[in-house]
Every structure is written in structure tokens, then in C-alpha cells.
Amino acid sequence: MDETNDHDKKINEEASGYVSEILQQAGSKPTSTPLSETKRNFVPLFIVLFFISVALTAWNLAGLASDYDVVTPQEELTYARFLIFTAIQEVNFYRDSAGALPTDLTFADSEDEDLAYSVNGSAFWIGYSGGDIDLEYRDGDPLAPFASAFETVTGTTVR
């Protein structure tokens, strides 16, 4: 039995030696990196960012000074046809529900001053005059160009 105890003591002493050696090694190493080693120098980054921001500002200001159209003529034409098509649909809806043509477009909540409307007996006329575009629709004219503009703007198909 003494041999077993001696053997256990020897194992315990070895284990305890290993543990103390590990603790010594852990104690000799710093647990964290000193602040001076983790501190980064951001000055070059700020200098680069400063010059990029100056260049972008100059580019934007130069762009503001140039003359350019915000709306292209094709977009304006599509917009005019879209307005006329919606007015045509509202007039036709009014005519179908009331049995007569409206006297003006106020019922349609159309606040666009570029649209004009007139009635001649049982037919109507809608015109658009804005920018460089003068466009008109007479009751009975083909709807295709106006309907395609409506489809372009809304992304829906007209039946």
C-alpha cells in the first residue's frame, strides 16, 4: 500500500510541477498588448480623405455651373401624352356616368395649367402647351400614342 501512495504522491508532484510551470509561463507573458502598440496613426488617412472631399466638392460645384436639361424633350413629350391620356379617361368616365360632357376639367382634380379643354357639341378637345411642346387630342383620334405614354409612366398595360 505504501507503494501505491508513493506512486500517487509522485504523480501529484509531477502534475503540480506542470501546473506551476504553466502558471510561471503565463505570468511572464503580458496579458494584453500595451496601448502604444495598438495605437494607429490616422493622419495619412485623414489627409487622403480631405483631398478626396475637396475634389468631390469642386466636381459638384463645376457640375452645378454647367447648363443641362433636367427633363429631356422625349420625357416632356411622354409626360404631356400621359396628362392628356388621363384627362381623356376622366372625361370619358364622366360622360359615361353623367350622360354629358363636362364643361371643364375641374371635376378631374387636374391642377396642371398646361392642359386646355373645350367642348364642341358632343365632342371634346384636350390640348397641352408647355415648354417646347404643343400637343392636342380631338375626341375620336387614335389613343395609341397617349396610351403608350401612360404605360411607360405607370408600368401598367392599357386595355
Residue 102 lies in a domain: yes
Residue 120 counted as domain residue: yes
Domain-located, residue 100: yes
In a domain? residue 30: no
The stretches in the chain having pLDDT less than 70 are 1-4, 26-39, 63-69, 108-111
* Residue 127 located in a structural domain: yes
pLDDT at 4: 66
How many separate domains does the chain show? 1
User: According to the model, what pLDDT value does residue 128 have?
Assistant: 92
Residue 93 located in a structural domain: yes
pLDDT value at residue 155: 83
pTM, whole model, 2 decimals?
0.55
Give the pLDDT of residue 126: 93
What does DSSP assign to residue 72? -
What is the pLDDT at residue 141? 92
Q: For the stretch 1-37, what's the b/e string if a residue is b when 16 or more beta carbons lie within 10 angstroms of its beta carbon? A: eeeeeeeeeeeeeeeeeeeeeeeeeeeeeeeeeeeee
Range of the domain at 99: 73-154
The distance in angstroms from the start CA to the end CA of the chain is 103
What is the reported pLDDT for 31? 55
**34 part of a folded domain:** no
Identify whether 99 is part of a domain: yes
CB-based burial, 70-102: b 16+ in 10 Å, e otherwise: eeeeeebbbbbbbbbbbbbbbbeebeeeeeebb
